[in-house]
């Protein structure tokens, strides 16, 4: 299952980086292109903070190292999960989604000191913070891990005990 995790991570990383390349080379920063009027735009924005703009300040360069450390810690945790359940395809796919997304955003942080976001979903004046393919992978992977662990019975890993009278 490690191969599935690696293939998923590499695939998502490439999709993320190619899509961001097109945004960076075909759109001006701050530009917005309506795709579904009243609901969805392609935008070109830079996020210097964490998810959904948290800590989005342009004067803090140490954040790159904070996110680098968080990516390393997440990788170690995900590796432990996969090693503990080596035959769980959903877990391997989920870990690959998270790592591919984390590495895609981390690559942006090192190269541009900001993450390129380009997907804008909104309704009237309400806008969800702009996001990208890496963010989708991270959220999907986290959801699948939570769902998988929630649906797995707690007693599954325990040996059946024989009742004695």
- Which one from 16, 108, 117, 120 is the annotated catalytic residue? 117
H or E stretch at 115? strand 115-123
pLDDT at 37 over 90: yes
Tell me, yes or no, if 117 is annotated catalytic.
Answer: yes
- Which one from 16, 108, 120, 135 is the annotated catalytic residue? 135
Question: Which residues, in sequence order, are CB contacts of 78 under 8 Å at separation 6+?
Answer: 5, 95, 98, 99
pLDDT at 64 over 80: no
pLDDT digits (tens, 9 = 90+) for 105-155: 999 988 998 899 999 999 998 989 999 999 999 999 999 999 988 876 654
* Burial environment of residue 22 by CB neighbours within 10 A (0 to 12, 13 to 18, 19 or more): exposed
The Cα 35–Cα 12 span in angstroms is 23
**pTM: predicted TM-score of the whole model, two decimal places:** 0.81
**Tokens coding 118:** 């380009």
Nearest to 13 by CA among 162, 149, 141, 156: 141
Taking only Cα atoms into account, the Rg of the chain, rounded to an integer number of angstroms, comes to: 19
- The whole-number average pLDDT for the span 6-29 is 97
- Alpha helix segments (H runs only) across the chain: 2-26, 63-84, 89-112, 133-151
Domain boundaries, the chain: 2-150
Instruction: Give the model's pLDDT for residue 153.
Output: 63
Lowest mean pLDDT among 6-15, 66-75, 113-122: 66-75
* Cα separation values, 19 from 5, 48, 149, Å: 21, 18, 32
Three-class secondary structure of residue 60 per DSSP:
coil
């Amino acid at each position: 299952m490690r191969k599935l995790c690696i293939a998923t991570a590499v695939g998502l990383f490439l999709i993320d980086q190619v899509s961001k390349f097109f945004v960076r080379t075909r759109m001006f920063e701050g530009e917005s292109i309506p795709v579904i009027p009243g609901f969805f735009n392609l935008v070109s924005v830079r996020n210097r903070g964490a998810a959904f703009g948290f800590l989005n300040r342009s004067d803090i360069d140490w954040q790159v190292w904070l996110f680098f450390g968080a990516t390393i810690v997440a990788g170690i945790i995900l590796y432990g999960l996969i090693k503990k359940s080596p035959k769980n395809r959903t877990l391997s796919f989920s870990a690959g989604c998270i790592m591919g997304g984390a590495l895609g955003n981390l690559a942006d942080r090192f190269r541009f000191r900001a993450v390129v976001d380009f997907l804008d979903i909104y309704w009237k004046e309400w806008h969800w913070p702009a996001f990208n393919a890496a963010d989708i992978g991270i959220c999907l992977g986290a959801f699948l891990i939570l769902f998988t662990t929630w649906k797995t019975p707690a007693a599954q890993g325990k040996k059946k005990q024989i009742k004695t009278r």
